[in-house]
Structure 1
Amino acid sequence: MMLGDVDLGSALRTLALFTATAVAEIVGCYLPWLWLKKNGSVWLLLPAAASLALFVWLLTLHPQASGRVYAAYGGVYVSVAILWLWAVDAIKPAPADWIGMGLCLAGMAVIMFGPRSV
């Protein structure tokens, strides 16, 4: 299905890939935080390293130019981090958090799916 010049299936795959990438990055950073700040086991560093390696590999799967991918990924990362705050840290997002998420996702969509003159 096409939405303007954007294939909806492709857009959903991109969003899913960005989401998986964000989760891998957050897990890779959260586990060492548990070890350092919450007296977690040093063994948390092994899955953290694997998660960060997965994060890097997932970033390479995007067909767009790397700079564009990194810029757009940031919008999804911010949104996933707010959802992580809610799901893992049990802190309910404030209305401003939801608005910020919407703005970040809108920015990601413009960067990834906006028309290109070149």
Structure 2
Amino acid sequence: MLRTTLLFVLTAVAEIIGCYLPYLVLKGGRTPLLLIPAALSLALFAWLLTLHPTAAGRVYAAYGAVYVSVALVWLRVVDGVPLTLRDLVGVVVVLVGMGVLMGGAQRG
């Protein structure tokens, strides 16, 4: 379970970086050279997806919950935006949802 969660986190970081760098180019006026590491990060993201246990259903739902969590950490750490109580409650809700979904996978 720890290995899968770490894989989810790495996948989310690769996806976020791959989307954040083009945002900096298009909206922040940064150098187009940032598109090179963005493309590499998205390629890494796609490769990491192939390492997930299965590529459907519950696994993608669980990944989505981790993605939301990592995106909020990114928002706080990289963008410097303070998280609200609503952000924290929301991330707890999606992580609990992930637990419910993955718990059902073990029984069914």
TM-score for both structures, normalised by structure 2 = 0.91
Say whether residues 1:116 and 2:101 are aligned partners: no
* CA apart distance, 1:65: 4.5
Unaligned ranges ≥5, structure 2: none
Give the counterpart letter for 1:104 in structure 2: V
Q: Which has the larger radius of gyration?
A: 1
The alignment yields a C-alpha RMSD, in angstroms, of 1.3
Match in the other structure for 1:48? 38
In 1, Cα distance between the equivalents of 2:61 and 2:27? 30
Match in the other structure for 1:98? 88
Deviations 1:36-62 (A, max 9, x none): 001011100010011011111111111
Give the counterpart letter for 1:38 in structure 2: G
For 2:68, which of 65, 68, 78 is the aligned residue?
78
Deviations 1:11-49 (A, max 9, x none): 111111100000000000000000000101110001001
For the residue of structure 2 that corresponds to 1:45, the secondary structure is helix
Match in the other structure for 1:4? none
Q: Where does 1:14-33 land on structure 2 (aligned, <5 Å)?
A: 14-33=4-23
In 1, Cα distance between the equivalents of 2:27 and 2:38? 15
Q: Tell me which protein shows more helix as a share of its residues.
A: 2
In 2, Cα distance between the equivalents of 1:112 and 1:57? 23
Unaligned ranges ≥5, structure 1: 1-10
Give the counterpart letter for 1:29 in structure 2: C
TM-score for both structures, normalised by structure 1 = 0.84
Q: Is the 8 A contact 2:22 2:38 kept in 1?
A: yes
For the residue of structure 2 that corresponds to 1:57, the secondary structure is helix
* Count of residue pairs the alignment pairs up: 107
